[in-house]
Structure 1
Amino acid sequence: MPPLFFLIFILFTPIKSDLWAETERMPDLQQWRALCGYYAVATAYMKDSNARITVFAPVDDVFTYNPDIRALDQKETLSHIVDSQVVDLTMNKLWDKQTLIRSTINSGYTYITQFENNPGNFSYFANAGMLCNHASNQWGIISGEQYLFKICTPMGHRPYPGTALSFIREHDVTVFEERQYNNRDLSQIRDILDRTPDIALVIYGSSAWNGFHTFFIPNDAAFARVVDRNRVDREVLLAHVTSTNRVLFTWPWLYDGGQHYYPSVRFSANIIEDNFKLKLVMRNITDRRTGKWDLYAVSEVYERYSQFRRGAVWAKILVPNIPTQNGVVHIIDNVLGIVSETIDMMIYRNEKTTTLMRYINTIGQIVRNYFSATGGLVTFFAPWNEAFDRIPEQIERRLLRDRIWLEQILKLHIVPAKELTSDEITNETIVNTIDNMRQLYFIKGEWPANNVTYYVIGGGIKTAIMMDNVAATNGIVHYIERVLGVPYQTLWEIMRNESRLQYSFHMMSNLQLRYSMDPWQVLTPEQNFTFFVPTNEAWQQQPQSLVSRMNDGNHWQALQYVYKRHILQGQALMYTDLRERTYVMMNDEKVVITRRGRFFELYWPRGNRRARVIEGGEIAGINGYMHMIDNVLIYEPDLRAEACSTQPVFFQLLIVSIVMCWRPGWFSHLYTVFFYR
C-alpha cells in the first residue's frame, strides 16, 4: 500500500473509543471508575467498544453522601449496566408506557421511569436513581456502541434473582448474606399466601410476561397489630399491590411531591382502570429536630366497603427499593387497609406523640374518654412532639400548672360526631369543637401543582396537617405540627412571618410602636394587646397618594397615630370575646364593634369608616391577639396629627434659648409661678 494512501486511510477512519477511556476524562465519575476497576467483568464491558450496553454511573456526589456505595460488590456493580442500548432516553419524547423494563448483565432488571415536568421537558429515573443533566450539558455519553448516563441518587438495592413470591418464601438464608436486606420477618404473610394460592401465584408470583407491580409487604410486627387475623383476606392482600406495569421506586414517586395516586390491583383488574376506591400513595415526613425523613406508604379509602374503613392507613417503609423479576418490593411496618386500633391506642403507640400522652394523662380521663371505643366518632388533631417543643418555656410552665386551661386547649383539638377527611376540606370549611365555644377553620393550599397542603386554624394558631386522614375504629386522626390555642410568638413576630400582613409589617418597621408589639417578656396587663391589623389587600384599597405620604418618612408620627387607632391596650380579646360595644383604643379614640350577620365589624364614627373582621383571621400571640381586617381606619386629616410635633428638636431648643436671652427674668418668673403659687 502506498504511504500516501495509508496516511489518508488513517486520517479518515473513525477511531472507536470506549467508556473506560471516556470516564478517565470526566472528573465527576472518578469514584465510579475506581469501583469498576476492582472487578474484571465490569472493566471488560467498559473497555469493549463493541458491546451494546447502557451504563448508569453514579456521580462522585452520590459516593460522598452515601459511603456504603463505595463497598458495592461485583454483582451490585453490574446491576448498573444494562445489556442493551436504551435509545429511548435520547429521543426527548413522551413514551407510550411510563416505565421501561430492561435486563442487566447480571440477569436482573432495571426499571426506567419517565416523568413529564412540562411539555417537552422530561425527567428520567433508573430504579431509584435520577438521571442528572445539571452536572453536564449532555444527557448521555455515547462511545461506539455504548451509552453512559450519569445518575445523582442511589439506584437502590441489588436485584433479587426471583419474583416477589419467591422473595417471601425464600428459606435459604445464604441468599441474603451479601445483601442489605432479608426476609426473616415475613413469616406471617408467607403463611397467608400459602392459604391463598390463587393470589400467590397469579399476582405475587407473576412472571415478567404477566406484568410488573409494586409490592408493599408487611413484616411480622405489622400483623401483630391486627386484632382479628381473619380480616386479612384476598382483598387486603391485593390492597398491597399496585396495578399492572406500575413499578415505582421511592425517589421517582416522591419526585412530584409524592402525589402520584395509583389504584391497587384489586380495582385495576376491573373494566374501569381509574377506579380509585382504594388508592396507594407514598409520602415523606421530615423530622424538624434531626432533619431525617421517613417514607410512608398510604392506602386511602373514601368509601366504606368490605373490610376497609373510611380514611387512610399509614405504613412506614422499613426497607425500600428491592428490585425483583416482576417489579419492586418495599417492606412496611403496618398492614394497609386494616384498621383495628382506637384513637387512644394509636397515639399511645406512636413514638411521635409521647408528649401529647403526658399532657393528656396530666388531667386524667376528662379528655381521654373521647378517644376510647365508647367515646363515639370524633376527629382529633393530634400535635406531634415537635409541636410542644415550639412552645416557649414560660408558656409551657403555665400550661402545666393551669389544668383548666390545659383541658380547654386539648378540647380545642377534638371535633365531635364527625369523621372529617381531607377530601371534605375547603377554604370555607368551619367545624365546632367539643367545648361548643370555639371553631376550627381550614385552608387548602396547593403549591406547587399537585402538592396540596391542608392547614387548620384554631385558637389563633395556624398549623399544617402533616399526616392526614389516619383511620381509627372510632374516628379520624390528623397529626399537626403546632398546638392549637397556645401562642409561641409575639405579635411582631407573627406579622413578620404572615404573608398577608407584609404591608403592615414594613410600615411599622420604623415606628416606636413595634417595640410594644415585640416585648422580650410580658410583665404587666398593659403589655397585652388586641391588634386589628389591616391586610395587604386593605392597604391596596386606600388612595395611593395618602399611603405614599404616610410612608415618606416625614409623617411617621401620623402613621403611628393611625395604627394606635387599631390597637386595644390592656385587653387580649379572642374572636369569641368580641362583643357589640364601644372601645377606647390606644390613641384615645372610640371605635365601635358591631355585628353584621355572623361577622364583626369595626366602626370608626369620626372618620365614618368600617372594617370587617375576617373570619378565621385570628392569630394568638404571647402578648395578645391579632385579628385581620379588610379595611383601614384612616382618612386624609390624619396627616395633620403630627403637624405640631414634627419640628426638629434642635429648632425647639433654639427658640427657648432665644426667649431666655431676650427676657432674662423669664425663667425665674416661670419658676415662681409653678412652684410658689
Structure 2
Amino acid sequence: MKTNCYLWPIYFYLLLHYVCADSIEEKIRNDPDLSEFYALLEASQLANVTLQYKQVTIFAPTNSAFQMYGNLRDDPNTLVLYHMTSAPKRTDQLGTSSLSLYSELEGSPPVWITHRTGQYHDDIYVNNARLLFIQSNIMGTEKNGNEQVLHKIDEVLVPTRSQKSASKRLYNPTALEFLENYESLIQHPHRVRSFRQKVQQFNKQDIFKTEGGHTFFIPVDEGFKNERAAFIDEKIIDGHVIPKQVLFTNPTKKDAPFQTLANGDNDIRVVILFTQEQRGSTIINYVKSHTLLGDGKHTQGVVLAEIVKANIPVKNGVIHLIQKPLMVVDSTVKDLLQEKDGGILNNFVNAIKDMGMEGEEFLNKLERSHDITLFAPCNKALEGDLTLNSILRDKQRFLDILNMHLVVDNRLYVEKILKHNRNKIFQAHTLSRGKNLYFNVVDSGTNRTMSVEGGGVNATVVQSDLAATNGIIHIIDRVLGVPCTTIWDKLRTDPMLNSTFYLGNLQGFNRQLNDTKRKFTYFVPRDKAWTDARVLFPSTIKKLFMHEFAYHATRILERHLIISDVNEPPYTIERIKQLTTNRTNRSYGGFLDVELPTVRGSLKLFIEERPNNTYVINWRGEQIHVFRPNVECTNGIIHVIDLPLLQERDVRVNRATKKHVTYLLALVCVFIKLF
C-alpha cells in the first residue's frame, strides 16, 4: 500500500474508530447514509446473530447504491449475508492482487477483491463495487470483544443463486453449473442454449469448472442468428475464457489485452479487451476479441460484442453475458454496421439511411466491394454539431464525405499502417476523387494510438480492426471532411506544421489566421520542407529561424498567404488548376502563370496534375510537390507543400546593418556597466 502525507487524515480517522467502543451494529444504525442497508439488516435474524457473536467484515452499500438497483429486498437474509465475510480485514489486509473472501451466505459464495492503482492509494473493489476508502476501516467489536470491520461500497453485491422454486437448488455455482442451469439462476430475457450445446458438443466442460479465479464470456442465443453456431469450434470456445484473472467491468483497465485459453498453440493468438462507450449519462460496456494471429478458420481482426449482463459472480470467477460470440467473422461490413441496430455506430447508420436512395446505394457498395476499409464515426461524433447537421441535409455533400471515409481494395489493419508509417507519412486514396487519408500511429509499447486525417479533420481511432468478411472497420471519434477549426488552430495542433507555426509567431503573423470574417488560402510548408530547404539554402534558413531576422520570416510567409472576402470561395487546387488551363500560351510549355493576390503583392504560379491525383506547383522555375491539398478549415483552406516558396536572395543582411547592430550592443554594455 502506498503511504504519503495524504493518508495521515485517514490514519487519524482509523485511530478514532479504534478507541471508540460502539459496536458495528450501532455504527450502521447511526449512519444516515446506511439506512437502506440497516433496514435489511434489521429484517435478517441470521445477520443479527452473526453481528453479535462472530468476527466479520461488512461491505455496506450506501443509500445511493440501493437507489441504482431498485427492489432487491425480497430476501434480506440472502442479500445482507452476502455482504459479510468471515474474518475482520482492514484495507491493508485485503492483499495486493485479486483474491476471494468467503461470505456468510449459505454455501459460502466468494466475493472477489481487486486492486487498481490510484493517485494516493490503491482503489479496492469488491466484485464490481468500489470501496469508499475514506469511509472504510470502521472498527467495532462483537459481544465477546472480537474485532469487526465495516467498509462502505458504492454498489450492491448480488449473489448468484437458484430461485426458491427451482427443483435443484444451487447456492454457489461454478461457471459450468451456471451454464447448465442458467434458467434457474438468472431472471433475464436472454438464453444461452446455443453456446451450451457447443460446449457439450466439443467436450469443453472442464474449462468452465476449473478451480481458481477466471473470467468467462458467454454469448446469448440472440447472437447465433444466420447459422453462426456452425462457426463455433474448440478454439473459439477457448477464446471465451481468460484464465487466472477475475475481471469485473469497473476495476478492469480498458483496452488492455488479456490472454485467452486460445493461445495454447502457436497457430493462433487471441486476446480480449474491455472497452466502453458513454451515451448521455449511461455507460455501455463492450468486450472485444482481437485475433492477432489467425489461420484458415480464424480470421485476423477484432470482434466487438456488447456486454448485455455483466459481473455475474460464480465460485470460480466471474461471468459476462455478451451479445454475440467472439472471434467469429461471418458478416459483411454492411451487416456489421447494421447489427444490433448499429450499436456503437447507430447514429452513423441512421444518417446514411436518412439519405434515402443515395444512402442505400452506399450501403450496397459496402456489401459488394472487397478488401475495403471503412472509417466509421462513433455515435458521439454525430451529436450536437450545427455545421454537421447542415451538411447531413445536403445529400451530395454528405455522400462525398461518406466516400472520403472509405478505402477500397486495401485492408488497412493498424499493424499494416504502422509498418508503412515508419519511414514516411502513410496515405491512402479514398473513394472520393482527389481526397486522401493521412495516418499517424504513436506506439509507446503498452499504448498505441492511431489518428487519421481527411479533409483537414484529425480523428482518433477509438476502436480498430473490426473484422468483416469483405474488409475491416475502424471506429473514429470525428467525422472527416467537416472542418471545425480555424487555420490558426490547425497549424497549432498539426504535428507536421510546427516549423511554419513557429515562424508565424515570431512577429504575430499567425494572429490573423483566427479571423473568421475573412477567407484564407495558405500554402504551408511542412516541417520536412524546411528541413530539405536547409540543405539547399543553409545560411538563409538559419537566419529565418533567428529572432533578429523575424521580419524576413514574416515577409516570406506573407508570400504564402492569400486573403479573400468571406463570401468568396477559397483557392482549391482544382480551382487554381482551372484558372491555369484557362490561360494558355507557349510560356512554360503551354501554361501561363496565375496571379493570386497575396498579402505581399501577388503570387505567380501554375498547377500541374500528375498521376494518382497528385499536384505540382510551378513557381519561379521550381517544381514543388503538394503533399496535402485542400485541407479545409472553418475560415479557409491549407495546401501543405514540400518546399517553401523561397529563394536564397530573399534574406539579405548588409554589412552596414551588422556594424550598426554591433555598435548598439556595445553601447548597451557600456550603459549597463555605468549604472
* TM-score, normalised by the number of residues in structure 2: 0.70
Q: Distance in 2 between matches of 1:131 and 1:532?
A: 53
| 1:412 aligns to 2:404 (yes or no) | yes
Letter in 2 for 1:433: T
The residue that corresponds to 2:229 in the other structure is 229
| 1:168 aligns to 2:179 (yes or no) | yes
Q: Please say if residues 189 and 218 of structure 1, whose CA atoms lie closer than 8 Å, have aligned partners that are also in contact.
A: yes
1:276 to 1:339, Cα distance in 2 relative to 1, 3 A: closer
State the percentage of identical aligned residues.
20
Offset at residue 470 of structure 1 (A): 1.1
Pairing partner for 2:193 from 172, 187, 190 = 187
The residue that corresponds to 1:486 in the other structure is 482
The residue that corresponds to 1:588 in the other structure is 601
Q: Distance in 2 between matches of 1:420 and 1:621?
A: 27
Q: Any idea what the Cα deviations from partners look like across 1:400-441, whole Å, max 9, x if unmatched?
A: 5463x5444322222222222223343543323245633222
Letter in 2 for 1:101: S
Q: What is the total number of aligned residue pairs between the two structures? A: 575
Alignment of 1:625-644 (within 5 A): 625-626=637-638
Alignment RMSD (CA, Å): 4.9
SS of residue in 1 equivalent to 2:412: coil
Alignment of 1:62-73 (within 5 A): 62-63=65-66, 66=68, 68=70, 71=73, 73=76
Pairing partner for 1:78 from 76, 81, 87 = 81
Q: Please say if residues 92 and 122 of structure 1, whose CA atoms lie closer than 8 Å, have aligned partners that are also in contact.
A: no
Q: Please say if residues 513 and 560 of structure 1, whose CA atoms lie closer than 8 Å, have aligned partners that are also in contact.
A: no
The residue that corresponds to 1:530 in the other structure is 522
Q: Please say if residues 405 and 480 of structure 2, whose CA atoms lie closer than 8 Å, have aligned partners that are also in contact.
A: yes
The residue that corresponds to 1:572 in the other structure is 570
Offset at residue 343 of structure 1 (A): 0.9
Q: Distance in 2 between matches of 1:302 and 1:34?
A: 51
The residue that corresponds to 2:269 in the other structure is 277
Q: Any idea what the Cα deviations from partners look like across 1:540-560, whole Å, max 9, x if unmatched?
A: x9999976998xxxx9xx999
Which range is displaced more, 570-579 or 124-133?
A: 570-579
Alignment of 1:534-549 (within 5 A): none
SS of residue in 1 equivalent to 2:250: helix
Offset at residue 352 of structure 1 (A): 3.7
The residue that corresponds to 2:260 in the other structure is 264
| 1:203 aligns to 2:197 (yes or no) | no
SS of residue in 2 equivalent to 1:252: coil
Pairing partner for 2:350 from 319, 342, 355 = 355
Q: Distance in 1 between matches of 2:29 and 2:400?
A: 68
1:561 to 1:504, Cα distance in 2 relative to 1, 3 A: same
The residue that corresponds to 1:645 in the other structure is none
Letter in 1 for 2:459: T
The residue that corresponds to 1:375 in the other structure is 369
Q: Distance in 2 between matches of 1:496 and 1:389?
A: 25
Q: Any idea what the Cα deviations from partners look like across 1:151-191, whole Å, max 9, x if unmatched?
A: 55325532333122332332765x55xxxx43752232233
Alignment of 1:72-111 (within 5 A): 73-86=76-89, 89-90=91-92, 95=96, 98-106=97-105, 107-111=108-112
Which range is displaced more, 121-130 or 23-32?
A: 23-32
Offset at residue 613 of structure 1 (A): 9.6
Offset at residue 356 of structure 1 (A): 4.2
| 1:297 aligns to 2:287 (yes or no) | yes
Letter in 1 for 2:46: V
SS of residue in 1 equivalent to 2:245: coil
The residue that corresponds to 1:326 in the other structure is 316
Q: Distance in 1 between matches of 2:629 and 2:434?
A: 17
SS of residue in 1 equivalent to 2:299: coil
1:152 to 1:430, Cα distance in 2 relative to 1, 3 A: farther
The residue that corresponds to 2:305 in the other structure is 315
Q: Which runs of 5+ in 2 are unaligned?
A: 1-18, 162-170, 531-540, 578-587, 654-675
The residue that corresponds to 2:441 in the other structure is 444
Offset at residue 336 of structure 1 (A): 0.8
Offset at residue 380 of structure 1 (A): 1.1
SS of residue in 2 equivalent to 1:376: coil
The residue that corresponds to 1:622 in the other structure is 634
The residue that corresponds to 1:58 in the other structure is 61
Q: Any idea what the Cα deviations from partners look like across 1:302-346, whole Å, max 9, x if unmatched?
A: 222253211111110111111112221111111111111111222
Q: Distance in 2 between matches of 1:129 and 1:23?
A: 19
The residue that corresponds to 1:460 in the other structure is 456
Q: Distance in 2 between matches of 1:578 and 1:42?
A: 82
1:306 to 1:480, Cα distance in 2 relative to 1, 3 A: same
1:121 to 1:588, Cα distance in 2 relative to 1, 3 A: same
1:113 to 1:418, Cα distance in 2 relative to 1, 3 A: same
Q: Distance in 1 between matches of 2:413 and 2:156?
A: 35
Offset at residue 110 of structure 1 (A): 0.7
| 1:18 aligns to 2:29 (yes or no) | no
The residue that corresponds to 1:240 in the other structure is 240
Letter in 2 for 1:382: A
1:266 to 1:402, Cα distance in 2 relative to 1, 3 A: closer
Q: Distance in 2 between matches of 1:81 and 1:353?
A: 47
Letter in 2 for 1:292: T
1:516 to 1:102, Cα distance in 2 relative to 1, 3 A: closer
Q: Distance in 1 between matches of 2:319 and 2:523?
A: 55
Q: Please say if residues 21 and 47 of structure 1, whose CA atoms lie closer than 8 Å, have aligned partners that are also in contact.
A: no
Q: Any idea what the Cα deviations from partners look like across 1:557-588, whole Å, max 9, x if unmatched?
A: x9998875542224635678888978642242
Offset at residue 70 of structure 1 (A): 7.6
Q: Distance in 2 between matches of 1:531 and 1:293?
A: 44
SS of residue in 1 equivalent to 2:348: helix
Offset at residue 296 of structure 1 (A): 0.6
Q: Distance in 2 between matches of 1:325 and 1:184?
A: 22
SS of residue in 1 equivalent to 2:204: helix
The residue that corresponds to 2:155 in the other structure is 154
Letter in 1 for 2:45: A
Letter in 2 for 1:411: N
SS of residue in 1 equivalent to 2:460: strand
Offset at residue 456 of structure 1 (A): 1.1
Letter in 2 for 1:166: E
Q: Distance in 1 between matches of 2:41 and 2:574?
A: 69
Letter in 2 for 1:322: I
Q: Please say if residues 376 and 474 of structure 1, whose CA atoms lie closer than 8 Å, have aligned partners that are also in contact.
A: yes
Q: Distance in 2 between matches of 1:573 and 1:123?
A: 56
1:417 to 1:329, Cα distance in 2 relative to 1, 3 A: same
Q: Please say if residues 594 and 601 of structure 1, whose CA atoms lie closer than 8 Å, have aligned partners that are also in contact.
A: yes
Q: Please say if residues 443 and 456 of structure 1, whose CA atoms lie closer than 8 Å, have aligned partners that are also in contact.
A: yes
Q: Which runs of 5+ in 1 are unaligned?
A: 1-13, 521-525, 639-677
Alignment of 1:592-671 (within 5 A): 619-626=631-638
Q: Please say if residues 250 and 320 of structure 1, whose CA atoms lie closer than 8 Å, have aligned partners that are also in contact.
A: yes
